[in-house]
Amino acid sequence: MSNQLEPLADPGLPHHVHRKADTDPAAEKRAERQVSILFLLSTAGTLLFIYSFIWIPTDLFVFVPLLGNINAHNLGIGAGLGFALFFIGAGAVHWAKTLMPDEEVIAQRHQMRSSDEDRASFVETVKAEAGKVQLGRRSMIKRSLGLALGLVGLSPIILLRDLGPLPEQRLLKTTWDKGVRIVTDPGNRPMKPEDLEVGAIAHVLPQIDDPEHRKLSDIAKDAAILIRVRPAELKLSEERMSWTHEGIIAFSKICSHMGCPVALYEQQTKHLLCPCHQSTFDVPTGAKVIFGPAARPLPQLAITVDSEGYLVAAAPFDEPVGPSFWERNI
């Protein structure tokens, strides 16, 4: 290619063209005025800011075309401060562009690399200093220092040990257990099968003694949903069928993908949809994944009714709820 051939010659920096303000005193005066006007606009902005801050009530809403109903206080102080800052900048830039010297300057570059002498003397200095320390000869010191430094580096990790407890069985268990009543969320009211019509969905939690102080970390595992369909529509194994009650089927509400609540139910298609990543679960087939990134069905909760006719769990979940983790044993 043309590498060895002679390239076009560099004609050098183009001739400088003067601005109007450099040659015409009237233009110079005008530019000066413009800069001052910009700075004065900034002052007006600050005044608007101060006025709005003190005198516009914080709960006053005004209608602004395109923006709708917005808070007048926020608008006033924001517009004031915004213009105050903007026009300082605009003034400075205009000043620089019209009145400050605009002739380009050429400076020379120097290679980053140090000169050969400097590099050589650097190497010598390092060698000489290392020789004084006799690091090469004192291998015992070198090794024991390495060991000490390596070990002391572990201590921050050890220090952080109490950041949290070990996982133990915590991810495997929920509050649900045999005979635990199913209560509404919110409301904490026990439910009977007739409270749920065919086609309806209920968001539920296990009944506990002190529902006012339910812990979020319990809710994050316990949350479940009840869906009622016609029993004939369920396509489940005999065992799973026995986990349902009169067409009411219960699933963990915590997505088996990344733990978002699976809260969207399409009554017509009987699909559950997770709004986070669009994993779609088919209710009649036991929440099998029919679309999206989730790899497992939502865990099904076995339910039945107790002696008073209230819906209860027939057994705890038979698998961990929520997203996967290393120790999760299928």
Partner 1 sequence: MITRREKIAGGVANFIDERTGAAKWVKKNLQKVFPDHWSFMLGEIALYSFIILLLSGTFLTFWFVPSQEELVYNGSYQPLNGVKMSAAYESTLNISFDVRGGLLMRQVHHWAALLFLAAMVAHLMRVFFTGAFRKPRELNWIFGVALLTLGIVEGFLGYSLPDDLLSGTGIRIAEAIIQAIPVIGTYLAFFAFGGDFPGELFIPRIYTVHVLLLPGIFLALITVHLMLVWYQKHTQYPGAGRTEKNVVGYPLLPVYMAKAGGFFFIVFGVTVLLGAFASINPIWIFGPYTPTQISAGSQPDWYMGWLDGLVRMAPPLETYLFGYTISWNILIPGLIVPGIIFTGMALYPFIEAWATGDKREHHLLDRPRNAPTRTAIGAMSLTFMVVALINGGNDLIATHFNLSINQIMWGTRIGIIILPPLAYVITKRICLSLQRYDRELVLHGRETGRLVMLPHGEYIEVHEPISPEKAYQLTQHEQALPLEAPGPDTNGVAPRGSLKSKVRARLSKAMLGEQIAKPTADDVKALEGGHH
| Footprint on residues 224-283 left by partner 1 (CB under 8 A) | 253-254, 257-261, 263-264, 275-279
Task: State the nearest-atom distance from the C-beta of 222 to partner 1, in Å.
Answer: 9
Torsion of CA 50, 51, 52, 56, to 10 degrees: 140
Rounded to an integer, what distance in angstroms lies between the CA atom of residue 319 and that of residue 285? 18
Residue 107 binds partner 1, judged by CB under 8 A: yes
Contact between 75 and partner 1 by CB under 8 A: the answer reads yes
Q: Which of 67, 140, 158, 159 binds partner 1 (CB under 8 A)?
A: 67
Site residues for partner 1, 135-154, by CB under 8 A, read none
Neighbours of 255 (CB within 10 A): 27
Q: CB 238 → partner 1: shortest distance, Å?
A: 25
Contact characters 163-182, partner 1, x per CB under 8 A:
xxxxx--xx-----------
Of 90, 180, 312, 313, which lies in the binding site for partner 1, with binding defined by CB under 8 A?
Answer: 90
Between vectors from CA 172 to CA 214 and to CA 224, what angle results, nearest 5°? 50
Instruction: Indicate the residue among 190 and 322 with the shorter CB distance to partner 1.
Output: 322
Query: Please, which of residues 19-38 interact with partner 1 by CB under 8 A?
Result: none
d(CA 208, CA 82): 53
Amino acid at 139: S
Cα–Cα nearest to 265, from 273, 257, 256? 273
- Options 50, 95, 208, 240; binder of partner 1; rule CB under 8 A: 95
Q: Is 325 in the site for partner 1 (CB under 8 A)?
A: yes
19 burial via Cβ count (<10 Å: 0-12, 13-18, 19+): middle
Is residue 293 at the binding interface for partner 1, with CB under 8 A as the rule? Answer: yes
3-class DSSP assignment, residue 176? coil
Stretch that binds partner 1, among 17-25, 51-59, 236-244, 299-307 (CB under 8 A): 51-59
Nearest approach, Cβ of residue 282 and partner 1 (Å): 13
Applying CB under 8 A, which of residues 179, 295, 306, 309 lies at the interface with partner 1?
295
Does position 17 interact with partner 1 (CB under 8 A)? The reply is no
Among the listed residues 40, 44, 60, 70, the single contact to partner 1 using CB under 8 A: 70
From first CA to last CA, the distance across the chain in angstroms is: 63
- Distance from C-alpha of 24 to C-alpha of 17, rounded to nearest angstrom: 14
Of positions 23, 55, 65, 111, contacts partner 1 by CB under 8 A: 111
Whether 80 contacts 50, CB under 8 Å: yes
The Cα 283–Cα 223 span in angstroms is 17
Whole-number Å distance between alpha carbons of 90 and 99? 14
CB of 80 to partner 1, least distance (A): 8
